[in-house]
Amino acid sequence: MKVYLFVIVILLSFMNNIHAQGENSIWMFGRNYSLDFNQLPPLLRDDRYINGTLMANTSQTVMPNIEHFYDYAQAVCDANGSILFMVKKHVYRNSGLGYSIPAPNIFDRNEQPIEGTEFLPPSDMQEDRPIVIPHPGNINQYYVFYVRNGGLLYCLFDMTLNNGRGNIVPGFKNILHYGYNSIVGRSMVAIQDCDGIWLVLRHKTQNQFLSFKLDIAGLHANPTTSQTGLMQIAEYASLNEFVASPDGKLIAVVKGEVQHLNQPGGIELFDFEKCSGKINNARLFEMNQQVYGVGFSPDNNKLYAAYTEYNPLLTPMASWWRDQNLYQFDLSLNEVSAIVNSKTLVMTNPTIQRNMTFCPLETPALGSMRIGKDGKMYFTNGSPSVCIGTSGVGLAIHIINNPNLPGLACNPTINAIFNTVNGMVAGNRASFRTDFSYEIVLPPNFTPDTIINEPIHVHVCYRADTVLKAPIGVGCVTWSNGLTDSNITVSVSGKYWVRYTKDCTIYIDTFDVSFSKLPKVLPVQYGCPGYILLTAGEIDGPKFELEVYNENGGKIYGGHLQSLHHVFNLIEGNYLIKVSTESACDTFLKVELKAYPTEEISIDPPFAIVKYGEQIQLTAYGGISYIWTPATSLNTRTGHLVIATPEVDTEYEIIGVNDYGCRDTAYATIKVDFNKQIQMPNAFSPNGDGLNDIFTIPSGKWNILKFEVYNRYGQLIYQKNNLSEGWNGMFNGKTCDAGVYFYAIVLSMPDKTNYKLSGEVHLIK
């Protein structure tokens, strides 16, 4: 529904512009000249209106200096093109002693002065033209703005007063709205806004433009200030021209070069933001030229500029012997360099013979350019009166018939409308341009619509922030965070909105932003050789799936949604990982695994033989902490130095840890010498004297499995029955005879082997 309403608004705006043409049907431009667009082609009138009729039309005789002589004027018409009232600048009352008494400045529809309207004294600068702007909140009232002594003043004129002739509202005459010595008088332009009108002026002493808003409530007190401009401040104080494009989106100022003041001048373009009154994007070109006039084509894409240029065919002794040329620039090219390269000469102002002694040659300056109701561009030739009988015409109007077309296709017509004799030579404007009056800019007759667009869902994958952008070519951008830039950077999920204006319609775009943050993955990770741990994510981070691929493309890990992934026991090298989330975000990352430096663990001595029951010291090197195994035969299982007392052959293992926590293993083998050369006694004397009474096995770390004694007949006379005793020489309770006996012994040794002993023993009595 909003879209249809927007179309209707555009149509209403278009219809409003069509029906507003009548308000600009009469162009008054000084010395009683006017161009009447109530008929096409328009009619040049060269004397004043009385009761809607002409005193003279395209007169072929010299016009008299009548009492209502003026240089600038503006006629205000109704929608049908009928004059409501006129504002004239530099009006004098003929006292018989010369034109020295100020007269009323506002005239009624019959061109009769309205007494009490003397608010433009003749002491003002001649270029300070008044501009009339309708009151957006009252169809019967008009603001008349003018500059006096650098201050912005106005009168409020009401058509319902003075029996319908109109008059200045009591208390609203010569109202100072902005301080003296602040405003450049010749630089005023009115631009239609979506809900009112902007009056735009240039500050006189600061590098800024001032935009004053007029809406249904009237004139706002404080201006919108735009700090911009590439020329010197002094150059703006004496601008040659200050105009706006038909659509109000561009502003152009021109300033001719002044060499002795080191002022290069030039053409300067600005963008105008209608919804805020802001001026920005200054672009300066054509410096060091004598450029003095400027105007836009109806489609806003062509810029026309008037130049004074040296002509080698004429005697260059004065500026009036130079060419006055009109050039066209193509603004659709956007880039300044391309615009400059499009510069095309489309017309040269004709040279006339001025009505002076000896009828000297003169090429007058071209006047201001303005678009007519028929879409053509009109501007004056600026001619003074010409010598009778010489070539050339007096004041004339040039026409650009097709101003939207490029180059000479614009079809200029020189002196399309003219007066054969009279010109603009008398009074204060004897030797400069003849300018048309300002255009009457009407307030809009519709209320701006507001369109809320469908939300835009923005999902940001694996970035910490994203940029939200307002559409290109819109104005008055305001974001939900208060910023007014064309784009903003956001880093937090949430809803954001931007409000902007385009073609007098307010739009609101909403952005629903969500972030999928990239899990924490260090690009380089370290670990112990062969045991490197690849870590991705963090405990409280977002959940994600992880795939890990080695340098050969082989998949070595695949983990489901979790916030922290560990891949163990990896070797040094480059790995490719794929990170994926539930919100369809995925990406590949490279991870390099590096191994910590390691020192080799060693044991001194790595091999040794000890006798059974003896100790040996083992020393470890290369680590900061150690664990020894087996620990049963060691005095400690930690430390770099241990005392080992092995009872059997033992291989000791040590695990050492270095400064990075990496492990290495070393081994030491300790052999045990059990001394199996057991010396058995070869005789004993069981006589009871306590000396060598028992035949026994020497003590040792072994177990007796078999201990038997035989006589010479092979009869078993003893076998082990008590580990602590041996044979006492007795058999069946009787002492055996002296002689040779035989023994057979089997011992179980600590090394888990059996050791056999056999031999003879002598029993002695």
Q: Give the separation between CA 350 and CA 358, rounded to whole angstroms.
A: 19
Q: Is residue 408 part of a domain?
A: no
Q: Give the separation between CA 114 and CA 131, rounded to whole angstroms.
A: 18
493 and 541 share a domain? Answer: no
Q: Give the separation between CA 209 and CA 444, rounded to whole angstroms.
A: 23
688 and 756 share a domain? Answer: yes
The reported pLDDT for the residue numbered 206 is 95
472 and 505 share a domain? Answer: yes
577 and 549 share a domain? Answer: yes
Question: Is residue 51 classed as helix, strand or coil in its secondary structure?
Answer: coil
Q: Is residue 267 part of a domain?
A: no
User: 3-state SS of 140-199?
Assistant: CEEEEEEEECCEEEEEEEECCCHHHCCEECCCCCCEEEECCCCEEEEEEEEEECCCCEEE
Q: From residue 256, how far is each of 207, 253, 270, 295, 307 by CA, in Å?
A: 18, 10, 18, 15, 8
Q: What is the DSSP string of 73-88?
A: EEEEE-TTS-EEEEEE
Q: Which residue has the tokens 């003095």?
A: 292
User: 3-state SS of 441-454?
Assistant: CCCCCCCCEEEECC
Q: Is residue 129 part of a domain?
A: no
What is the enclosing helix (H) or strand (E) of 641? strand 641-644
699 and 652 share a domain? Answer: no
Q: Is residue 127 part of a domain?
A: no
Q: Which residue has the tokens 């006096």?
A: 148
Cα-based angle 603, 606, 607 (whole degrees, multiple of 5): 150
Question: How does strand 505-516 pair with strand 456-461?
Answer: parallel
Domain that holds residue 630: 602-673
Count CA atoms closer than 13 A to 377's CA, side-chain side: 30
CATH, residue 568: 2.60.40.10
What is the enclosing helix (H) or strand (E) of 235? helix 233-236
668 and 697 share a domain? Answer: no
Q: Give the separation between CA 754 and CA 765, rounded to whole angstroms.
A: 33
Nearest to 234 by CA among 284, 175, 184, 163: 184
What is the enclosing helix (H) or strand (E) of 9? helix 2-19
Q: Is residue 612 part of a domain?
A: yes
Q: Is residue 238 part of a domain?
A: no
In 505-560, alpha helices (H):
none
Q: Is residue 201 part of a domain?
A: no
Cα-based angle 82, 22, 270 (whole degrees, multiple of 5): 135
The reported pLDDT for the residue numbered 425 is 55
Q: What is the pLDDT of residues 650-681, one digit of tens each?
A: 999 999 998 888 988 999 999 988 777 788 89
The reported pLDDT for the residue numbered 29 is 81
The reported pLDDT for the residue numbered 317 is 47
698 and 755 share a domain? Answer: yes
Q: What is the DSSP string of 619-640?
A: EEES-SEEEEE--TTBS-SBSS
Last residue of a domain, one of 595, 629, 650: 595
CATH, residue 734: 2.60.40
The reported pLDDT for the residue numbered 314 is 57
Low-confidence ranges of the chain (pLDDT < 70): 1-20, 31, 46-71, 90-102, 121-128, 312-321, 421, 424-432, 721-724
Q: Is residue 663 part of a domain?
A: yes
Last residue of a domain, one of 595, 611, 634: 595
572 and 535 share a domain? Answer: yes
Is the distance from CB of 204 to CB of 239 less than 8 angstroms? no
Q: From residue 266, how far is each of 60, 287, 473 by CA, in Å?
A: 39, 4, 26
Q: Does the pTM of the predicted model rise above 0.75?
A: no
How many structural domains comprise the chain? 4
688 and 754 share a domain? Answer: yes
Q: What is the pLDDT of residues 326-338, one digit of tens each?
A: 999 999 998 999 9
Two structure tokens written together for 759? 């031999």
Last residue of a domain, one of 643, 673, 703: 673
Question: Is residue 216 classed as helix, strand or coil in its secondary structure?
Answer: coil
Chain centroid offset of residue 370 CA: 39
